[in-house]
Structure 1
Amino acid sequence: MATTNQSHERGYYSSPGKAISDATGGRINVEIVYGLGHPKSMWNLVEDGIVDASYSYHGYAPGRFELPQVVEQPGLGANAEAASYALWTTYEKFFSDSHEFDGLKLLALFTHGPGQIHSNFPVTSVDELKDKKIRIGGGVQSVIAEKLHVTAVVIPAPKVYEMMQQGVIDGAFLPTVEQKVLRLSEVTKYLTIFPDGLYMGSFSMFMNPDTFSSFSQADQDIINKMSGEKLSVMAGMAWDASDASGIDAATNSGVKVTMLSDNSDLVAQFNERLKGVSDVWVKEADENGYKGKEILTYLRDTAHQYAAKHGE
C-alpha cells in the first residue's frame, strides 16, 4: 500500500505503518512516498486512486473541511494529544453525517501542537504585528491574521524557510517543532511561545475506499482497530514530543525564545484582540444545521477531561 507524506515530517507515520505490517503478517506493507504535489492535492490523489492513503491539513482546502476546524479555535488550552482525542470524539458524535469525507475512508483526525509566532522581529506588543508579512496555513489562522492586522501570506509550511531567508515574509504562525524540522532556527531571530498557543491546526488521515475493500475482512478489521481514536491520539502524541525538540533547536541556535506566562501583559493583549475568533466557526456551523457553540464547548470539555485523566 502506497501512502504519501507530502510534508516535511519524514517518517512521521512509520510506526503505525510498521504496526500494520506486523499485525497483518506482512500482507499489507506501507511504503511512504514523498513529493507528489501540493498538500491541498492529497485528498484528490487518494480519491483518484493514484495513492492509497495520505494525510493533510484542512486549511489547505478552504470550503471543503470546515467542521474539523472546531479544534483550531483559540482558547482550547490543551496539547495535541488531548486535542486530537477530542477532535476525533467530537467529529464522530456530531459530524458523522456531514459528508465532508465522502469518497474517502477516514482513518484519523488530529492536530499539531499549539501554533506560535516565529519572527525576525521581537513581539513586545500586539501592535508589533500590524502590517507585518506573516505566513499562515489557512483555516482559523486566516481569521486570526485579520484580527491581528497582519498581511497574511498563505503558503505550505515547507516554503517558510526560503521565504524567511529571502526576506519575503517577516514571520510565520507554526508549532515550535518547525524550528528543528524546517530549520527555522537558521532564519528566525525570535520565537514567542504563548502558554496555550494562538491556535491549533487540524489534519485528517484517509484511505482510498477501494483499496480498503480490496483487503481481506481480517485485514480490514486490523486497520479499523488501529485507526480512529487510537491513531488520532498517536499522531497528537508525536506532535507534542516533537515540539519540545523544536524549542531545544531554537535555544541551541541562539534564537531568542520568549515563553510567556498566563498572567503576562502580552498574553492579555492577544486574548483581547482575538475575542470573537471562534464566533466565525460557530456561525458557519449554525448555518449548516449544527449547534456550533454547544459543539465547541463539548470539544473543549472533552479535551480538558482527557488531559486531567492522563495527567497533562
Structure 2
Amino acid sequence: MKRRSFLKAASAAGISVVGFKPMAALAANSNLRMGTWLPPTHHLTSVAFPRWIDAIDKASDGSLKIAIDPAPIAPPPEQYNIVRDGAADLAYHVAAYTPGPFEVARGIEMPFLSPNAEVGSMAAFDWYERNIGFDAEFKDVKVLTIFVHGPGVLHSKEPIHTLEDLQNVKVRVGGGGVRIAEALGAAPVAMPASQAYEALQKGVADAALFPWEAVKGFRLYELVNNHLEIPGGLYTTFFAVIMNRAKWDALPDEHKQVLSEIGGVKGAQILGKSWGDEADAIGKQAAIDNGATISALEGAELARWAEKVAFVEDDWVKLANERGYDGAALLTDLKATIEKYKS
C-alpha cells in the first residue's frame, strides 16, 4: 500500500499516525555474531562489550542485535582472519599479536603516552582516522571502532624499583613489549594475555606487563604481589573492533548509521572507560585487598627508563616515513590529540 493511501486509511479508521515511519525507512532486523577469545567472566566480555552492544540495541530501537559467542572459535592472533573470512561477523583484534600489517596504527602503543584508557581510546580513533584512514592497514575488514587498555603496569613476584632490579627478570609481554623489555634488561616472554596466569604459576615468567585490570581479570593477585606504576604506561595495547566486509555491505543503511554513530570516537569512549578505566580500578582494588605493595616510577629513575626506551619513538617515526607518511608530524599530532582529550 502506498504511504498516502495508508495514511488516509489509517485516518479514516481513527488510527493515530503520529511518529509513523514509512516502511522504506524501517530497517529489517539484523543479527550479528561477535567472536571472542576471552572467558565470559572477563570484564571486557561481561561488562564493556555488553554496554556497547546495549547502546547499539537502543539506538536501533532493538532491530540490530549483536551476540557474543559463548566460547572462542580461534586463538587471539586469528581474530582478524576469522572476521575477514566470514567465520565471525565481528571480533576484537589485538594488533600486536600479528606483527607487520598494523605498524602505523600501533604508534598509539608507545611508552608514556596514554594517561588512561578513555582518553587513549578516543584520541587513538580520532588521530588514526584523520591522518591514516582505516582502509590503509585494515582494507580486508570494516573497522567499527578502536580502543586501548589502561597504562601498562609491571606486576612482579619480587619488588622492582630500579633498572638493576629488573635485570634478567622473566617478564610476560604481549607482542609489542618484547623490545621494550629487552631494552630495560629484562628477559621477555611473549605470549597472549590468556596464557599469563599459567606462565607465572609454573615459573615460566616472574613478572608481567599488564594494565591493572588483569590483576582481577586473570587472577594475578594470586601469584604476584608487587606492582610498579609508570606514568602514561610503559605501553598500551591497541584493539580494533572489526566487521566482515560482506556482512557490513549487506546491512541496511540505518544499521550502518547506528554502527558508525555508536562506533568511532563514541564507541572508543564507551569501551575505553567501561573496560580500561573501570576494570583498572577493580583490578587495583583486588591487589590492595590481597596485601599488594604498590610503588610508582618517578623522578630520576623514570628518566633512566625513558632514556632506555626512547628508541621506540625513533623507530616508529622511521617506519612511518618508510610507509609514505611524515612520521614526526604524525607523532606530534598524536601527542596533541591525547592532550586535547585529556582537557
The TM-score, its normalising length taken from structure 2, stands at 0.85
Q: Closer, same or farther in 2 for the Cα pair 1:59/1:97, shift >3 Å?
A: closer
Q: Does 1:209 align with 2:245?
A: yes
Q: Does 1:16 align with 2:52?
A: yes
- The equivalent residue for 1:243 is 280
- The equivalent residue for 2:35 is 4
Q: Closer, same or farther in 2 for the Cα pair 1:97/1:237, shift >3 Å?
A: closer
SS at match of 1:237: helix
Q: Is the 8 A contact 1:78 1:304 kept in 2?
A: no
- The equivalent residue for 2:315 is 280
- The equivalent residue for 2:63 is 27
- The equivalent residue for 2:206 is 170
Distance of 2:163 and 2:333 partners within structure 1: 30
Which residue, out of 126, 141, 157, partners 1:104? 141
SS at match of 1:30: strand
Which residue, out of 176, 182, 187, partners 1:146? 182
- The equivalent residue for 1:299 is 334
Distance of 2:178 and 2:327 partners within structure 1: 19
The 5-angstrom pairing of residues 215-234 of structure 1 reads 215-234=251-270
- The equivalent residue for 1:189 is 225
Q: Which amino acid aligns with 1:281?
A: W
Shift of 1:77: 4.9
Q: Does 1:132 align with 2:169?
A: yes
Give CA-to-partner distance per residue, 1:145-184, whole Å, 9 cap, x none. 2211222111111111111111111111110111111110
Q: Percent of aligned pairs with the same residue? A: 33
SS at match of 1:117: strand
Q: Which amino acid aligns with 2:121?
A: S
Distance of 2:128 and 2:307 partners within structure 1: 29
- When structure 1 is superposed on structure 2, of 179-188 and 276-285 the one drifting more is 276-285
RMSD (CA atoms): 1.5
Shift of 1:97: 6.8
Distance of 2:233 and 2:258 partners within structure 1: 36
- The equivalent residue for 2:86 is 49
Distance of 1:51 and 1:156 partners within structure 2: 20
How many aligned residue pairs are there?
Answer: 305
Q: Which has the larger radius of gyration?
A: 2
Shift of 1:69: 1.1
Give CA-to-partner distance per residue, 1:253-284, whole Å, 9 cap, x none. 11222234x43x43232123222221111111
Distance of 1:298 and 1:104 partners within structure 2: 26
Q: Is the 8 A contact 1:116 1:192 kept in 2?
A: yes
Give CA-to-partner distance per residue, 1:193-218, whole Å, 9 cap, x none. 12222112111111012112222111
Structure 2 stretches lacking a partner, 5+ long: 1-31
Q: Closer, same or farther in 2 for the Cα pair 1:211/1:234, shift >3 Å?
A: same
Give CA-to-partner distance per residue, 1:67-116, whole Å, 9 cap, x none. 11111111315222111122111111221176311120111121110001
Give CA-to-partner distance per residue, 1:20-39, whole Å, 9 cap, x none. 22332332211111322211
Q: Is the 8 A contact 1:76 1:300 kept in 2?
A: yes
Q: Is the 8 A contact 1:54 1:207 kept in 2?
A: yes
Which residue, out of 55, 73, 78, partners 1:36? 73
Q: Is the 8 A contact 2:112 2:231 kept in 1?
A: no
- The equivalent residue for 2:303 is 268
Distance of 1:109 and 1:22 partners within structure 2: 21
Q: Is the 8 A contact 1:123 1:129 kept in 2?
A: yes
Distance of 1:194 and 1:75 partners within structure 2: 7
Q: Is the 8 A contact 1:115 1:175 kept in 2?
A: yes
Q: Is the 8 A contact 1:24 1:219 kept in 2?
A: yes
Distance of 1:197 and 1:97 partners within structure 2: 25
Q: Closer, same or farther in 2 for the Cα pair 1:209/1:97, shift >3 Å?
A: closer
